[in-house]
């Protein structure tokens, strides 16, 4: 279940709860809120799995970029070796090979940087969302504990 849906259900439960007169406190159905909290505990690992999938995707992109760079370097070396065999154009071949290698390395580094940026951005968004959800859960628990504490005082 989507964590945001569970947060909405938690908020709905709070909004539907009976207010206590002259306070900002409400009576909440303990079974329902504990059920939602249990579902949230199950849903949070799903969000973590999504983050792990993003990391795996980043690793695949990096591996592909490295493979492409290696392939391009191999092609450049092969071309370079062929050109070296020709005495008249050895210098031009070396220059071209160096440029191809430099361009390949530049492209691979750019791809790595883009992948890192994408993963950092995605994980940062996930972290912010998880922090927001965690704060909401803590606030709900705190409100329940205050209500329970107040109820125990009123019964005494």
pLDDT one-digit tens code per residue, 68-116? 989 999 998 888 777 667 665 667 778 888 999 999 999 999 998 999 9
Whether residue 149 is predicted with pLDDT greater than 90 in this model: the reply is no
Please give the Cα distance from 36 to 144 (Å, whole number).
Answer: 14
26 and 126 in contact (C-beta within 8 Å)?
no
What mean pLDDT is predicted for residues 124-130? 92
- What are the pLDDT digits (tens) for 38-76? 888 887 777 788 888 888 998 999 899 899 989 999 998
pLDDT for res 89: 66
- In sequence order, the β-bridge partners of residue 27 are 18
25 and 147 in contact (C-beta within 8 Å)?
yes
Please give the Cα distance from 90 to 86 (Å, whole number).
Answer: 6
pLDDT for res 99: 94
Residue 32 Cα distances to 4, 26, 71, 119, angstroms: 17, 14, 58, 36
Closest CA to 9 of 44, 47, 46, 35: 35
Residue 23 Cα distances to 18, 20, 34, 95, angstroms: 11, 6, 23, 80
pLDDT for res 70: 92
pLDDT for res 130: 92
């Amino acid at each position: 279940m989507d964590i945001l849906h569970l947060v909405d259900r938690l908020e709905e439960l709070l909004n539907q709860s009976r207010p206590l007169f002259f306070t900002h406190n409400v009576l909440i159905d303990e079974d329902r809120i504990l059920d939602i909290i249990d579902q949230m505990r199950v849903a949070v690992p799903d969000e973590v799995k999504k983050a792990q999938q993003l990391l795996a995707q980043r690793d695949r992109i990096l591996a592909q970029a490295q493979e492409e760079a290696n392939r391009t370097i191999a092609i450049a070396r092969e071309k370079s070796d062929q050109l070296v065999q020709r005495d008249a154009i050895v210098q031009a071949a070396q220059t071209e090979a160096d440029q191809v290698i430099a361009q390949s390395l530049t492209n691979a580094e750019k791809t790595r940087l883009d992948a890192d940026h994408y993963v950092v951005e995605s994980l940062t968004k996930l972290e912010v969302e998880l922090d927001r959800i965690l704060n909401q859960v803590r606030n709900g628990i705190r409100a329940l504990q205050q209500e329970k504490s107040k109820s125990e005082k009123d019964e005494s």
